[in-house]
């Protein structure tokens, strides 16, 4: 990644201050660097620089067997780790022609939505931290901890469980799993009203968020935005509805959208998504077969037939797709990840310019980028 490390000052213009926001800035959610031109508190120019967390995932994955790659996909969007495994697994399952048992599909859905809630909780906590409220951070991380404990009980790991596998899940769920999840949902539903009161209904938050960082529908589509960002701009695009995977076509849920496209809308959409996730998990808990195989028949050496496959899922940040090219060997010929935060991050110059500096922070936290996935 080579490029200009700074933006050049305009000759003769003395009222513009050029300032590096990041990569060690407290509110850049990791390692984003934005070179910003400031006129007082008003942003005149903004150039994002990425690549500080580049780990060469796609190349490394070419030299790993299919089973080994799953643990790499976990580490893209580490905040919603488990969700990232799915598009790769779905693509390879298609190439292998594996049938996934119903029980495995529902277990995947339950975990998938639990990790959506966990990821949105991290976003909410850190986003409010960016807006100056310290308390929601501690509340949301405490709630997320319960999800991680449920994951740990079943999968053995917390954030990056490496739990999904070709044909289903790696092992059967813990005997307490369904009870724990139901208990968590009951608990979480008592917490949500507090978050609404602390965040969405707070007049100070509304003053900071309403009408800030407005993203038009056309702009969002043109930039390839996805996830809550595009849904807050009035586009009802959700991979779970558009190309249903696992058991999503058997479950009823809404796609929350809002037409405004401002920071408040993006916060609102994520709040509503947490509610929808609760709804989905409740249905899945009812419908999941209580017995049965948790994994389909998969050959011990995974060697998909030659061909290519692209599969996408709706992770917490949007449309995550994985393109797998197989040459019939144990190693993939090529893997390409299409990550949502990378596309959403392109909106920075659009949304930052003209905003105030404090708004830029709110906009960035409403885009919710995770740099493990932007840089890969």
Partner 1 sequence: MSRMPLPTERLVQPKLVGYDPTRPKPWLERIAYALFFSALWVMVVLAYGVVPTLFRHFGWMKTPLGFAVFAAIEAVLAFLLAAVVALILIVVLRKYLGKVQERVGPMHYGPAGVFQTVFDALKLLGKEDFAPKRVDWLIFRLAPAIVFVSAFLLMVAIPVAPGWLIADLDVGLLYIVAVSTLGAYGVVLGGLSQGNKWGLLGAFRAGAQLVSYEVPLAIALLSVGVFAGSLRFTDIVEHQYGLWHVVPLFLSFIVYLVASIAELKATPFDLPEAESEIVAGYNTEYSGMSFAFFFLAEFVELFLLPGFMVLLFFGGWHGPLFGLDPQSFAAGLLQSLYFLIKVAVWVWIFLWIRATLPRFRDDQLMDLAWKGLLPLSLVGLLVAALLRMFLEVV
Q: Which stretch binds partner 1 (CB under 8 A): 51-59, 110-118, 147-155, 264-272?
A: 147-155
Closer to partner 1 by Cβ: residue 152 or 243? 152
Closest to partner 1 by CB, 124 vs 247, is: 124
Task: Take residue 90 and report the two structure tokens written for it.
Answer: 């779905």
| Residue showing tokens 């390879």 | 92
CB 188 within 8 Å of CB 142 = no
Structure tokens at 21: 């926001």
By CB under 8 A, is residue 351 in contact with partner 1? Answer: no
Site for partner 1 in 290-319 (CB under 8 A): 295
> Residue 296 CB, nearest distance to partner 1 (Å)?
12
Cβ closest to partner 1, residue 61 vs residue 262? 262
- Closer of 196 and 357 to partner 1 (Cβ): 357
The smaller minimum CB distance to partner 1, of residues 156 and 307, is found at 156
Please tell me the chain's helix, strand, coil percentages from 3-state DSSP, rounded to the nearest 5: 50, 15, 40
Q: Is 25 in the site for partner 1 (CB under 8 A)?
A: yes
Q: Tell which one of 7, 19, 60, 192 touches partner 1 (CB under 8 A).
A: 19
Contacts of 253 (CB under 8 A, 6+ apart): 240, 276, 279, 280, 283
Place of tokens 């968590």: 184
Q: Is 204 in the site for partner 1 (CB under 8 A)?
A: yes
Q: Which of 26, 252, 290, 301 binds partner 1 (CB under 8 A)?
A: 26
Q: Does 208 bind partner 1 (CB under 8 A)?
A: yes
| Contacts (Cβ under 8 Å, ≥6 apart) of 93 | 100, 166, 167
Assess 174 for contact with partner 1 (CB under 8 A).
Answer: yes
Ramachandran category for residue 227: left, alpha or beta (phi over 0 → left; psi -120 to 50 → alpha): left
**C-beta separation of 226 from 343 below 8 A:** yes
With binding defined as CB under 8 A, does residue 142 bind partner 1?
A: yes
Taking the least distance from each CB to partner 1, the nearer of 161 and 340 is 161
Do the beta carbons of residue 141 and residue 108 sit within 8 Å? no
Regarding 78 and contact with partner 1 (CB under 8 A), the answer is no
Q: Which part of the chain contacts partner 1 (CB under 8 A), choosing from 56-64, 94-102, 234-242, 352-360?
A: 352-360
Length of the chain: 376
Q: State which of residues 5, 6, 135, 216 lies at the interface with partner 1 (CB under 8 A).
A: 135
User: In this structure, what token pair is assigned to residue 146?
Assistant: 């319960």
Instruction: Report how far apart the first and last C-alpha atoms of the chain are (Å, whole number).
Output: 13
- Contact indicator for 179, 187 with CB cutoff of 8 Å: no
Strands across the sheet with 318-326, in order? 307-315, 318-326, 332-338
Please select the residue that binds partner 1; options are 9, 156, 193, 289, rule is CB under 8 A: 156
| Interface contacts to partner 1, rule CB under 8 A | 17, 19, 25-27, 38, 40-41, 128-135, 138-139, 142, 152-154, 156, 171-172, 174, 198, 202, 204-205, 207-208, 295, 356-359, 361
């Amino acid at each position: 990644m080579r490029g200009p490390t700074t933006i050049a000052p305009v000759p003769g213009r003395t009222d513009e201050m050029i300032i590096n926001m990041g990569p060690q800035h407290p509110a850049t959610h990791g390692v984003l660097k934005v070179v910003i031109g400031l006129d007082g508190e008003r942003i005149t120019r903004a150039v994002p620089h990425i690549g500080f967390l580049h780990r060469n995932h796609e190349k490394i994955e070419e030299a790993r067997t299919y089973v080994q790659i799953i643990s790499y996909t976990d580490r893209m969007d580490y905040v919603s780790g488990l969700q990232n495994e799915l598009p790769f697994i779905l693509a390879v399952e298609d190439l292998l022609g594996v049938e996934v048992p119903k029980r495995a599909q529902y277990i995947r859905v339950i975990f998938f939505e639990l990790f959506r809630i966990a990821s949105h909780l991290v976003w909410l906590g850190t986003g409010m931290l960016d807006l100056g409220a310290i308390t929601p951070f501690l509340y949301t991380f405490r709630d997320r901890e319960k999800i991680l404990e449920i994951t740990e009980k079943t999968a053995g790991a917390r954030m990056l469980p490496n739990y999904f596998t070709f044909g289903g899940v790696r092992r059967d769920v813990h005997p307490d799993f369904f009870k724990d999840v139901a208990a968590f949902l009951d608990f979480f539903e008592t917490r949500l009203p507090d978050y609404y009161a602390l965040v969405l209904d707070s007049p100070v938050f509304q003053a900071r968020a309403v009408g800030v960082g407005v993203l038009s529908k056309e702009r969002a589509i043109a930039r390839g935005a996805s996830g809550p960002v595009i849904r807050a701009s009035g586009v009802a695009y959700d991979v779970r509805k558009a190309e249903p995977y696992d058991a999503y076509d058997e479950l009823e849920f809404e796609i929350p959208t809002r037409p405004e496209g401002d920071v408040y809308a993006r916060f609102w959409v994520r709040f509503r998504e947490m509610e929808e996730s609760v709804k989905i998990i409740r249905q899945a808990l009812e419908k999941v077969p209580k017995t049965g195989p948790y994994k389909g028949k998969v050959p011990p050496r995974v060697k998909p037939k030659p061909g290519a496959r692209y599969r996408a899922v709706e992770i917490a940040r949007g449309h995550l797709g994985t393109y797998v090219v197989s040459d019939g060997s144990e190693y993939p010929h090529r893997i390409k990840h299409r990550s949502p935060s990378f596309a959403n991050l392109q909106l920075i110059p659009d949304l930052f310019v003209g905003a105030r500096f404090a708004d830029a922070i709110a906009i960035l936290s409403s885009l919710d980028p995770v740099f493990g996935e932007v840089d890969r």
